[in-house]
Structure 1
Amino acid sequence: MTDALVIGGGPAGLMAAEALLSAGRTVTLVEAKPSIGRKFLMAGKSGLNLTKMQAFGPFLAAYGTGLHPTLRSCLRAFGPEEVKAWTEGLGQTTFTGSTGRLFPNAMKASPLLRAWLDRLDGLGLYRHTRWRWVDWDKNALQFDTPEGTRVLTPRVTVFALGGASWARLGSDGQWADRFAAKGIKVTPFQPSNVGLVVDWSDHMPRHFGAPLKGISLYAGDQVSRGEAVISKRGLEGGGVYPLAPSLREGAALTLDLLPDLSLEAVADRLSKPKGKASLSNHLRRVLKLSAAAQAILREFVHPLPDDPSALAQVIKAVPIRHAGLRPMDEAISTAGGVSFEALDETLMLRDRPGTFCAGEMLDWDAPTGGYLLTACFATGLWAGRHAAEYDRP
């Protein structure tokens, strides 16, 4: 008999382990990969965005209108201020960027992960790597390990197996079929926070890698203000990723290349005499449109209208023809997973008492910018705290 078992060594699993250990439970954590926190470390390579420091109302609104009440409760218990305090409690000083995003001063994830594991080890965590969960055998859990098949019968279990993106780092989604086979409702995975496939014309390769800065993007009722990058495969970047929910539903995508100028202001500037200047030079002179922005404009609107008002309209709403989202394994995260219908308000499976779920394996969707990671922390902590109170030895 094992006391408390955590399956998955990402942020949600580690937070669940911390909650269990802090409550005095004896905790074993198992991870399928050779090391802990691989996706967490990858996420921090370009700067570990921990959360978004903003008022709680707008913070919750970023998760969309379909936010489940249980997830809302998790975030109320461990929101931006708690993330900041927890990080600094591990000796990692933080700073808030101009957009409100919170980062550790070290920027990378590795110092934070080392400090976190040191704390957990000091609390008595037992951890094993290269342990892959195979299936349930009644109340027991089977694992493939370097030493062969192992079977554990824990008093409580927290699953934190991740979604179905970045399989090479551990989130391969293979657990979903095993859950579904046991009658647990699992919503099919879909890519989120991912780029778009665009079949470019032969005129575009010289612009690959160029950014489209300060634009606004529209898809359905979603609006995103940020940056996109023209890549060989399509459009990528922080401005594109939040629109995945609407784009998955087939919403049209348009770009406003000059969101800080009104339609009338753009038309007025275009009405200025251009003399002998080419249209490209005129657009650069009166609107400061970059070469990349002009390339996008010409790629999707051809020929460009001569009338200043008509031209202003397409500059403010460039229709982007695309072939859908990039494949799921290229996504930063996935929507879908264990349905909240299968869970009670403590994140315990209704049909498997003592078994809890947390992190990206739950059916929720969040944009990047700290929201994704905060919810992984919050659901891990919530599941761990409730698991700690269940079936004490």
Structure 2
Amino acid sequence: MVDALVIGAGPAGLMAAEELARAGRRVLVCEAKASVGRKFLMAGKSGLNVTKDEGAAAFAGRYDSDWLGPMLAEFGPAEVMAWCRGLGQEVFTGSSGRVFPAAMKASPLLRAWLARLGAAGVEVRTRWRWAGFAGAGLRFKMPEGERVLTPAVTVLALGGASWARLGSDAAWVPWLVERGVEVAAWKPANMGFAVDWSAQMARVFGQPVKGAALYVAGRRERGEFVVSARGLEGGGIYAVSRELREGAGLVLDLMPDVGAAEVAARLGRMRAGETAANRLRKLGLAPVAVALVMEFAKGAPLTVVKALPVRLAGPRPLDEAISVAGGVTRGAVTEGLELRAVPGVFVCGEMLDWEAPTGGYLLTGCWATGRWAGRAAAG
């Protein structure tokens, strides 16, 4: 009989496996894909942001679910940085407070982690896809056929419902629901938003809007975003995506470092008869920002650059989202993240119903919940 089984070899699952092994359990990790940590490696392609270097209260406050508080208190930014260094991966804090490995990539960290897990006796099997329950066991499909495992304890770390090609396809939902587990409906998080562009916008597709201020639901965020053929996407949009998803409007200040009176004064000094586009360029707006004004407020006073209303056509599809809201609800698990309806089975990572912004919060949340579930399962 398998002693401790972990299904899913992403950050949450591998962290659960590490805790189980540390407690002396014989651990088997099963991964449906041909290799481990696929979404983790993809997230690190542009620089792996492991956490955010800020106070514990401020950090925890960026999550929409206060029930993660104890888990983040035990494995928050300071602990993440120490853990990375323990794997021989030095980290540094950028000007925004975001923390990155010195190598910037995910692959060196993952290689060092897998080596440590292997030395601890953790066995990893790829191309083992969980196919649901089989009585008291768990059924797997692999290239050579099917097999049922009956572990003493199981940790599920199967991801959410975005980036299905990397393994997070939410195929597990009906199997847990059949066992009486409550799973909240999925919603995209940290995603772009569709815009029904006119033909004139095609010339600026792919261009970033830098330094804008975004006003949504009474709050202000500074950030960069990109105008794409599909709409608006990028960090600035992701920061306010939850409020936009729930129906709040978006207003842009394209000159946040210049007061409204100064903008009006500059416009007043320009020659009469100049085209609106030319006057906007003289204000210092980049071509992509000029295009946005002409798209959303053509014919309006040009002082609209301080409060440009943006017409969105809804969030991009779920599978395009960086992360998701929804999943196994708080009421469905014990304090140790054990499923109340399926004793001996624990859940962690993006399977759980929590939401957080990008900027290291997602990865830290997965590690913290994986660690918590692994420790509880080991007990």
TM-score category, normalised to shorter length: over 0.9
Aligned partners of 1:62 and 1:256: how far apart in 2?
24
Aligned partners of 2:314 and 2:308: how far apart in 1?
17
Question: Which residue, out of 235, 238, 247, partners 2:244?
Answer: 247
Deviates more, 1:202-211 or 1:348-357: 348-357
The answer for unaligned runs of 5 or more in structure 1 is 306-310
Aligned partners of 2:340 and 2:15: how far apart in 1?
22
Aligned partners of 2:371 and 2:28: how far apart in 1?
16
Distance of aligned partners of 1:276 and 1:252 in 2 relative to their CA distance in 1, 3 Å threshold:
closer
Distance of aligned partners of 1:20 and 1:167 in 2 relative to their CA distance in 1, 3 Å threshold:
same
Deviates more, 1:216-225 or 1:163-172: 216-225
Matches within 5 A, 1:43-62: 43-62=43-62
Are 1:300 and 2:290 an aligned pair? no
Q: How many corresponding residue pairs?
A: 379
Are 1:68 and 2:74 an aligned pair? no
Aligned partners of 1:199 and 1:16: how far apart in 2?
44
Are 1:377 and 2:367 an aligned pair? yes
Are 1:128 and 2:120 an aligned pair? no
Are 1:349 and 2:350 an aligned pair? no
* One-letter amino acid matched to 1:358: C
- Look up the SS of the partner of 1:239 in the other structure: helix
Contact 1:298-1:304 within 8 A present in 2 as well: no
Aligned partners of 1:47 and 1:222: how far apart in 2?
28
- Look up the SS of the partner of 1:141 in the other structure: strand
Q: Deviations over 1:200-241 (max 9, x none)?
A: 111110101111001122232454321010111111100001
- Look up the SS of the partner of 1:117 in the other structure: helix
Instruction: Name 2:42's counterpart in structure 1.
Output: 42
Question: Which residue, out of 79, 82, 91, partners 1:94?
Answer: 91
- Look up the SS of the partner of 2:198 in the other structure: coil
- Look up the SS of the partner of 2:19 in the other structure: helix
Q: Deviations over 1:259-302 (max 9, x none)?
A: 223333332333334366543333333x3111111110110002
Contact 2:71-2:369 within 8 A present in 1 as well: yes
Aligned partners of 1:232 and 1:256: how far apart in 2?
22
Instruction: Name 1:336's counterpart in structure 2.
Output: 326
Are 1:139 and 2:136 an aligned pair? yes
Instruction: Name 1:282's counterpart in structure 2.
Output: 279
* One-letter amino acid matched to 2:38: R
TM-score by length of 1: 0.93
* One-letter amino acid matched to 1:164: A
Distance of aligned partners of 1:202 and 1:347 in 2 relative to their CA distance in 1, 3 Å threshold:
same
Deviates more, 1:326-335 or 1:269-278: 269-278
Aligned partners of 1:222 and 1:357: how far apart in 2?
34
Are 1:326 and 2:277 an aligned pair? no
Instruction: Name 2:32's counterpart in structure 1.
Output: 32
RMSD of Structure 2 on Structure 1 (CA)? 1.4
Structure 1 residue 2: Cα displacement? 1.2
Contact 1:224-1:240 within 8 A present in 2 as well: no
Deviates more, 1:324-333 or 1:238-247: 238-247
Structure 1 residue 351: Cα displacement? 1.8
Instruction: Name 2:101's counterpart in structure 1.
Output: 104
Aligned partners of 1:132 and 1:273: how far apart in 2?
66
Aligned partners of 1:7 and 1:224: how far apart in 2?
38
- Look up the SS of the partner of 1:261 in the other structure: coil
Structure 1 residue 258: Cα displacement? 1.7
The answer for unaligned runs of 5 or more in structure 2 is none
* One-letter amino acid matched to 1:264: A
Instruction: Name 1:308's counterpart in structure 2.
Output: none
User: Sequence identity, in percent?
Assistant: 58
* One-letter amino acid matched to 2:341: D
Instruction: Name 1:162's counterpart in structure 2.
Output: 159
Aligned partners of 1:222 and 1:196: how far apart in 2?
19
Aligned partners of 2:58 and 2:158: how far apart in 1?
29
- Look up the SS of the partner of 2:199 in the other structure: coil
Q: Deviations over 1:327-358 (max 9, x none)?
A: 11111111111011101111111122221100
Matches within 5 A, 1:164-179: 164-179=161-176
Structure 1 residue 59: Cα displacement? 1.3
Question: Which residue, out of 252, 255, 260, partners 2:257?
Answer: 260
- Look up the SS of the partner of 2:235 in the other structure: coil
Structure 1 residue 248: Cα displacement? 1.8
Structure 1 residue 138: Cα displacement? 3.0
